[in-house]
Chain A
Amino acid sequence: MKDTPLSNCERDFLLKAIEEKKRLDGRQTYDYRNIKITFGTDYGCCFVDLGKTRVMAQVSCELVAPKESRPNEGVLFFNIELSPMASPAFEQGRQSELSVKLNRQLERCFRNSKCIDTESLCVVSGEKVWQIRVDVHTLNHDGNLMDAATVAAITALCHFRRPDVSIQGEEITVYTPEEREPIPLSIYHMPISVSFSFFQQGTYLLVDPCEREERVMDGLLMIAMNKHREICSIQSSGGIMLLKEQVLRCSKIASVKVSEITTLIGKALENDKKARKAGEKCGFAESMSQERITTLIVDETPVEMTDVVEQADDIIKNSKAPPETPSSPVVPAPGVGQVGQGLQNSWGLEEQDSEEEEDMVVEVQPKKKIAKGDIVEISDSEEDEVVILQPEAPVKKSTAHQKGATTSKKKK
């Protein structure tokens, strides 16, 4: 599926509007869209809505063997999936440039900044450590996937609880959530990325570009910072040349935005914690607002089962009897089976039998009628004579051997 191309008049309109300091959705130059954070039913599942851009992050853990170079550190694995749902341009399975770029940026932002204490993830040094896997699924692409993905990833990591482990000598016990309360991860700081898009060779700057603006931009500057004003990662792409003052100005703007977003994340985590403590049901279903006209929720309803048995009986009575079961497979040789009527295919048997030129003393036995349901085994030791496929004599002849004759298949 191809995405609809951007028309020239749309491009010119957008650029002209940016020159006049106007944006499509009426925002100011440094304004972010509305961020909404919701959590799923289980720990570590988080949805982030950045305007219309929607992503979902899920954190999971597994016990694995550690890397050889770092035997007492846990493993962090990030994967951002550009789902075809997010945009018609994304294809399933294809590693597009954007997907590689986002994955790499996410890794640099979180792994290289050491925001998670990986040593606390060690269970048995050199043998068993926790592997924390973060899967970010993009659900709707309306620009600025990177920021939404970092917010979702760090919120999900803060929300996640891993199972409790206890070591007694050689034995390791991993407790289920019912046995012991799961423990949160130890996170030092929360890196959050802020994206700046540049237009007209760096003259104009916009924060949090939407999808249309991303299409006409010249370059993108991504700054990942935490609320302590430490820069975790900077990435400039698109080949634009920025002045030192511009980069410093962007980092100042980023620090303001990051502190706002961090407070928002903190509030969302607090609310969720309170709701779970109070025993309320948390999940995607609860986050669907009932007032919207496009939503409808129905409570638990019983299903009538009054005349189900009678209905079933009727159907079975009126249905036809099942067709005759086919005769059991005929086994000409080990590993070969034949079902149904037709020529007796003795392809491949000839070589086998010619090898075994044994003198078999066979008693004359009456020809047994093959009972239905028995598996007929035709092997070398049987007294039946199997005729090799010939146009004149295709029918299998089973004759009783005379004493003294060999049971080799005679080729006519």
Chain B
Amino acid sequence: MIAMEVRKSSDVSLREFGCEQNLLSRPDGSASFVQGDTSVLAGMYGPAEVKVSKEIYDRATLEVLIQPKVGLPSVRERSLEQCVRETCEASLLSFLYPRSSLTLILQVVHDDGSLLSCLLNGACMALMDAGLPMSCLFCGVTCAINADGEIITDPTAAQEKQCRAILTFAIDSTDRKVMMSSTRGSFSVHELQECIAVCQKASEKLFKFYRDSVQRRYSKTV
């Protein structure tokens, strides 16, 4: 079996990222997350009343809606919604709110690569802002394998176009395990494990960022 080794790239880095919490007045929790030029706005309503057709007797019904910037939502948005919803359901303690609805709405403000990881990060910050109980935090990291076999983390749209594989993982905060993975392209088993290891390392930075931003926010008591 040919082992496709991934060469270490010198410029593996995360683009500058930023976040603003509680920027919308109507949603119960809202956050905007920016990774380089990719930015996403997340709004969260819940726990609220649920339609009888959608209610679950022992848990809250989580609904995720992703709105693209141009046009109406299509199949692409549906598949992204499924990835985000599964990650959120795995971390939210939804059994605390039976027969209620939790609605998470994500608006794509600008897409310059690594969209799914930006959506996951925005979703986690909005859930935190809404004060929903979670068993763990999660973050999304995207890495791409370019034609030379190098790993690039947090690729821009131009970099994504030239890559042979793009892998996005949702990593949880307690054990740094993979909660969700969404990949496109072909890669070997070894490359997959290396990408997971790189994403786990990158997730450390994101979790530290979550901690810092929440600490900053609650540093002044009103």
Does A293 lie within 8 Å of B65, measured CB to CB? no
11 extra interface residue pairs, beta carbon distance < 8 Å, beyond A88-B26, A295-B18? A1-B101, A83-B105, A85-B107, A135-B71, A284-B32, A288-B34, A296-B18, A296-B212, A303-B198, A308-B197, A309-B5
Chain A 270-311 interface mask (CB, 8 Å, partner B; 1/0): 000000000000011100100011111111111111001101
Q: How far is the CA of A141 from the CA of B43 in the complex (A)?
A: 12
B173 at the interface (CB under 8 A from A): no
The reply to whether the CB of A257 lies closer than 8 angstroms to some CB of chain B is: no
Give bound CA distance, A152 to B111, whole Å.
20
Q: Contact check: which of A60, A88, A312 meets B193 at CB < 8 Å?
A: A312
Contacts of B18 in A (CB 8 A): 285, 288, 295-298
Asked, given contacts A142-B26, A284-B34, whether A296 binds B19 with beta carbons under 8 Å apart, the answer is yes
Q: How far is the CA of A292 from the CA of B151 in the complex (A)?
A: 35
Q: CB-defined interface of A76-107 with B at 8 Å, one 1/0 digit per residue? A: 00000101111110001000000000000000
Do residues A285 and B39 form an inter-chain contact, with CB atoms below 8 A?
A: yes
A315 vs B50: C-alpha distance in the bound complex, in angstroms? Answer: 44
Which B residues fall within an 8 A CB radius of A? 5-6, 8-9, 11-27, 30, 32, 34, 37, 39, 41, 43, 45, 48-50, 65, 67, 69-71, 73, 101, 103, 105, 107, 109-110, 112, 151, 153, 189-190, 193-194, 196-198, 201-202, 205, 209, 212-213, 216-217, 219-220
Q: Return the contact of B105 from the options A85, A300, A304, A315 (Cβ within 8 A).
A: A85
Is A127 among interface residues, defined by CB-CB distance under 8 A?
A: no
B14 touches A1 (CB 8 A): no
* Nearest-neighbor residue (CB-CB) of B102 within chain A: A1
Verify if A45 is at the interface (C-beta below 8 Å from B). Answer: yes
Contact status B26-A87, CB under 8 Å: yes
Q: A296-B19, A296-B216 are in contact. Are A137 and B107 (CB under 8 A)?
A: yes
Selecting from A50-58, A114-122, A219-227, A329-337, the interface stretch reads A50-58
Known A86-B26, A298-B18; contact A56-B107, beta-carbon cutoff 8 A: yes
Query: From A295, which residue of chain B is reached at the shortest CB distance?
Result: B20
- Report the 8 A-B pairs with minimum CB-CB distance, sorted nearest first: A297-B18, A85-B43, A312-B193, A296-B213, A85-B105, A312-B194, A140-B24, A302-B13
**In the bound complex, do residue B103 and residue A295 qualify as a contact, i.e. CB atoms below 8 Å apart?**
no
Name A314's closest neighbour in chain B (CB-CB): B193
In the complex the two chains form, is B5's CB within 8 Å of A303's CB? no
Using Cβ atoms and an 8 Å threshold, which residues of chain B touch A88?
A: 26, 45, 48, 103
For window 222-247 of chain A, which residues contact chain B by CB distance below 8 Å? none
Q: Is A9 an interface residue (CB 8 A)?
A: no
Which chain A residues lie closer than 8 Å to B5 at the CB level? 309
Query: Across the interface, do B110 and A1 meet the contact criterion of CB distance under 8 Å?
Result: no
- Contact present for A298 and B25 (CB under 8 Å): no
Tell me whether B6 and A45 are in contact (CB under 8 A).
no
A-B contact pairs, 13 of them (CB 8 A): A1-B45, A40-B110, A84-B65, A85-B26, A141-B26, A283-B37, A284-B109, A288-B20, A297-B34, A298-B17, A302-B12, A308-B8, A315-B197
A41 at the binding interface (Cβ < 8 Å):
yes
The reply to whether the CB of A343 lies closer than 8 angstroms to some CB of chain B is no
Bound-complex Cα distance A350 to B153 (A): 57
CA distance A135 to B22 in the complex (A): 24
When the two chains form their complex, are residues A297 and B26 in contact, meaning their CB atoms are under 8 A apart? Answer: no
B67 near A2 with CB under 8 A, answer no
The interface residues of chain A lying within 8 Å CB-to-CB of B212 are: 296, 298
User: Is A371 an interface position by the 8 A CB rule?
Assistant: no
Interface residues of A in 61-86 (CB under 8 A from B): 81, 83-86
- Residue among A42, A83, A303, A304 with the highest chain B CB neighbour number at 10 A: A303
Instruction: A140 to B28: give the CA distance in the assembly, Å.
Output: 12
> A11 at the A/B interface (Cβ < 8 Å)?
no
- Chain B CB within 8 A of A133 CB: yes
CA–CA, A297 to B39, complex, Å? 13
Query: How far apart are the CA atoms of A285 and B48 in the complex, in Å?
Result: 31
Assuming A303-B12, A312-B197, is B213 touching A84 (CB within 8 A)? no
Q: Are B217 and A294 touching (Cβ within 8 A)?
A: yes
Q: Assess the B12–A292 pair: CB atoms within 8 A.
A: no
Q: How far is the CB of A267 from chain B (nearest CB, A)?
A: 23
For A312, what are the chain B residues with a Cβ–Cβ distance below 8 Å? Answer: 190, 193-194, 196-197
